[in-house]
Amino acid sequence: MTRPNGSAKKNNSTKKIERLLRQLLIELGENPDREGLIQTPARMAEMFEEIFGGYRMNAELEVSFSEETDAIIAKNIEFYSMCEHHMLPFYGKIHIAYIPSGKVFGISKLARLVEKYARRMQIQERLTKQIADEIIRTDIKGVLVIAEAEHLCMKMRGVKNDSLIVTVCHRGIMEEQRQLRDQVLSLIYASKPEMRSV
Ligand SMILES: [Zn+2]
């Protein structure tokens, strides 16, 4: 199968994925050679490289700018991930609040960290924990990570369920000091009082 461009770059595993997807179309009762589907396995294989690119992201998180501050909250970091039980997307927002120890993270570093763990086969609880665990390993005092997501595997199939799943993970002094945690939570949800019960 040829692509208009970049076919020389196509690696072995991409070609294997294409063949598997073609076979999947056949098993689903489709004709993979009809016009609308002929390029679908190639397009999907290419898309998988992007949406599962988190496995290849090794970007280490490090504190960079120096700043005297109590708590820093990065709200509404958008993410898209894949439910590992059904291979359907779940997506939403992640809020990261942390207490620095003199130095702070660049906001793009946090967004990249979210991508690193979102762009793979995931469950929301683990995604939340992995982000918190990587942040607490750096030179900071505590972190709170909240993920709010909609799951297509819940919306599209079975008992249709429109609920928003919220997962929370805290580490360091955010785990030890409840008052601090509540303070940060109320800041995060200042404009969304209905979510304060997390
Ligand atoms: Zn699922």
pLDDT of 101-122, one tens digit each?
Answer: 888 888 889 999 999 999 999 9
- How many whole angstroms from 173 Cα to the centroid of ligand 1? 33
Is residue 57 in a domain?
no
Amino acid at 111: A
Q: Residues 182, 134: one domain?
A: yes
Question: How many degrees, rounded to 5, is the angle at CA 84 between CA 80 and CA 90?
Answer: 30
Q: Give me ligand 1 centre to Cα 29, in Å.
A: 24
Handedness of CA 9, 12, 17, 19 (dihedral sign): positive
Compute, in angstroms, the gap from residue 165 CA to the centroid of ligand 1: 12
Tell me the residue range of the domain where 45 lies: 6-51
Task: Say if residue 144 is in the same domain as residue 94.
Answer: yes
35: domain CATH number is 1.10.286.10
pLDDT in tens, 43-76: 999 999 999 999 998 777 777 777 677 889 999 9
Ligand 1 centroid–CA 154 distance in Å is 7
30 and 119 assigned to the same domain: no
In a domain, 1, yes or no: no
State the Cα–Cα distance between residues 125 and 143, nearest whole angstrom: 16
In a domain, 20, yes or no: yes
Q: How many domains does the chain divide into?
A: 2
Cα of 146 vs centre of ligand 1, distance in Å, is: 19
**Do 121 and 76 belong together in one domain?**
yes
* 154 assigned to some structural domain: yes
Same domain, 42 and 73: no
In a domain, 90, yes or no: yes
Measured in Å, residue 134 CA sits from the centre of ligand 1 at 25
Distance 128 CA to ligand 1 centre (A): 16
Both 110 and 31 in one domain: the answer is no
Is residue 80 predicted with pLDDT exceeding 60?
Answer: yes
Give mean pLDDT, residues 121-132.
98
96 and 173 co-located in one domain: yes
Q: Residue 143 C-alpha to ligand 1 middle, in angstroms?
A: 27
- Has residue 140 been placed in a domain? yes
pLDDT in tens, 173-189: 999 999 999 999 998 88
Average of pLDDT values for 125-142?
95
